[in-house]
Structure 1
Amino acid sequence: MMLGRSQASLLVLLALTLASCQSEDKPPQPRFVSDYRGYPGTAEAESQRRNGGYFIEFRSRYALSYGHTYVVFGRADKSGRMINPEVAGLAPATLDPGPYVIGHFIPVPAETGASDGDLQEEYRSASWRVMLTEAEYRKTVAYIRQLKAKSRFWQASVYNCNAFVADIAKSMGYKTPSIWLRPQQFVTELREMNGG
C-alpha cells in the first residue's frame, strides 16, 4: 500500500520530532554575555555589565520533557541582577499533559508568557545574555509584544518554543539553528552561530 502525500508528510514530521528528542542534555552551560552585535568582552558590553543596562537573554531550561526555550528581558543592575524581568516563550496553554502530547501531531492552543521554572536558576540549562542600548531594547520589545499577540498555537514540529525564540532572534538580525534541536542545544548553537 502506498502512502499518500499528506500521510508521508505527517510521517516525516513525526520522525523529525522524535529524532530531535533523542539526544541528552548536558550539565548547565556557563552564562555568556555579549553586546548587540554578538561580541563578548567588547567595551560596550563590559560597560553595560558594570553599569547595568538593558538586556535580552535567550534561555533554555530543563523540564520533565525535553526542556523549554524562551527569552527573559528587561534591565540589569550594576551586578548583573535582573530588575523586574519579563519572560516570553511559547508553550501549550495548560499544565495537562494531554494537549502537550496532542501538540506533537496537531496545533494546540498556546500561551506566550512565563511558565513554571523559567526564572529559577536550578533549571537553567543554557543562556546567552545580549546587552542592548535603549533604542535596541525598545525595538526588540516591540517585536516581542507583536509576536506574543499573534502566536496562538503550539505544534512540536512546526511552531514550537524554539521557533518562537528564533523569530525574536531573526528580528534582531541573528542567524538561527534548526527548530528541531533540544532547547539547550538550540540556545548554545544560537550563541555560537552569532559570535557570542
Structure 2
Amino acid sequence: MALGRGGVSLVIALAVMASSCQTEDKRPLPHYTSNGRGVAPTNAAENKSNRYFIEFRSRYALTYGHTYVVFGRADKSGKMINPEVAGLAPASDNAAPYVLGHFIPVPASTGATDGDLEEQYRSASWRVMLTDDEYSDTVAYIRKLQATTHLWEATVYNCNAFVADIARHMGYKAPGIWLRPQQFIATLREMNTG
C-alpha cells in the first residue's frame, strides 16, 4: 500500500514523537547562572546592576516533563522575589486535551502550571541575569507571546517552542523543539554558554 503525501507526514510526525519519548530524564541537573553575555557576574557592581533575571527551566511530570520560564527580581543572595511564570500547556487539567494535542492543536494556557515553582520537580535550569532594559524588553516580548499564543500541539508548537521563541528574541540560539524538556534546557544553555 502506497502512502500519500499526508500519510508520509503522519508517519514522520509519529516517529519523531515516539523517538523523543524513548529517552529518560536524568537526575536533576545543576542550576546555572550567567549574565546576558554567557558568564557569571564577577564583580559587585555588575551583581548590583543585574537584579532582574529570566530562568529557563524544565521540570519532571507524569509525562515527559514541561519547559517554561520564570522571571522577576532577585535579592542579593539570588533568591527570587515574587517570580512570574510563563509557559505553554494544554488549558485543562484533564488528560484528554493533552493526548488529543499530539494530533491536533488544542486550546492552551500560557501561565504557571502545577509544580513549576516546586524545587523537587525541577529537572534543569539556566538563569540569565539581566539589566533593567534587557528585562523590560524580555518581559514585553513574553507578554506579547502570551497574548497571541492560544494553541498547543505537541509536534508543531509545544512548550519547548514557546521557550525557544523567548530565547531567540533575547538573541540566543535554540535547539530543536522535539527534545525532552530536560534535554532542551541543558542544550539551550550549552549552545549559548559553551
Residue 157 of structure 2 corresponds to residue 148 of structure 1: no
> Over aligned residues, Cα RMSD in angstroms?
1.5
User: Do the aligned residues in 1 keep the contact of 2:50 with 2:132 (CA within 8 Å)?
Assistant: no
Q: Which residue of structure 1 aligns with residue 21 of structure 2?
A: 21
Q: Which residue of structure 2 aligns with residue 55 of structure 1?
A: 53
Residue 120 of structure 2 corresponds to residue 136 of structure 1: no
Question: Could you report, residue by residue, the CA deviation over 1:25-58 in whole angstroms, capped at 9, with x for unpaired residues?
Answer: 011111100001212354479624xx87000000
User: Do the aligned residues in 1 keep the contact of 2:57 with 2:69 (CA within 8 Å)?
Assistant: yes
Correspondences of 1:1-196 after superposition (within 5 Å): 1-43=1-43, 47-48=47-48, 53-195=51-193
One-letter amino acid matched to 1:30: P
Q: Distance in 1 between matches of 2:44 and 2:66?
A: 30
Q: Distance in 1 between matches of 2:45 and 2:31?
A: 14
Quick one: percent identity of the two aligned structures? 69
Q: Distance in 2 between matches of 1:44 and 1:162?
A: 34
What count of residue pairs does the alignment treat as equivalent? 194
Q: Distance in 2 between matches of 1:171 and 1:88?
A: 15
| Comparing 108-117 and 30-39, the one that deviates more | 30-39
Residue 79 of structure 1: how far off its partner (Å): 1.1
Q: Distance in 2 between matches of 1:80 and 1:149?
A: 29
Q: Gaps (5+ residues) in structure 1?
A: none
User: Do the aligned residues in 2 keep the contact of 1:60 with 1:69 (CA within 8 Å)?
Assistant: yes
TM-score by length of 1: 0.95
One-letter amino acid matched to 2:12: V
Q: Distance in 2 between matches of 1:145 and 1:44?
A: 31
Q: Name the CA shift for 1:46/1:184 in 2 (closer, same or farther; >3 Å).
A: farther
TM-score by length of 2: 0.96
Question: Could you report, residue by residue, the CA deviation over 1:129-173 in whole angstroms, capped at 9, with x for unpaired residues?
Answer: 000000000000000000011110000011000000000000000
Structure 1 consecutive aligned stretches of length 4 or more whose deviation exceeds 3 Å:
41-46
State the SS of the aligned residue for 1:187.
helix
State the SS of the aligned residue for 2:68.
strand
User: Do the aligned residues in 2 keep the contact of 1:52 with 1:78 (CA within 8 Å)?
Assistant: no
User: Do the aligned residues in 1 keep the contact of 2:21 with 2:180 (CA within 8 Å)?
Assistant: yes
Q: Distance in 2 between matches of 1:162 and 1:44?
A: 34
Q: Gaps (5+ residues) in structure 2?
A: none
User: Do the aligned residues in 1 keep the contact of 2:21 with 2:64 (CA within 8 Å)?
Assistant: yes
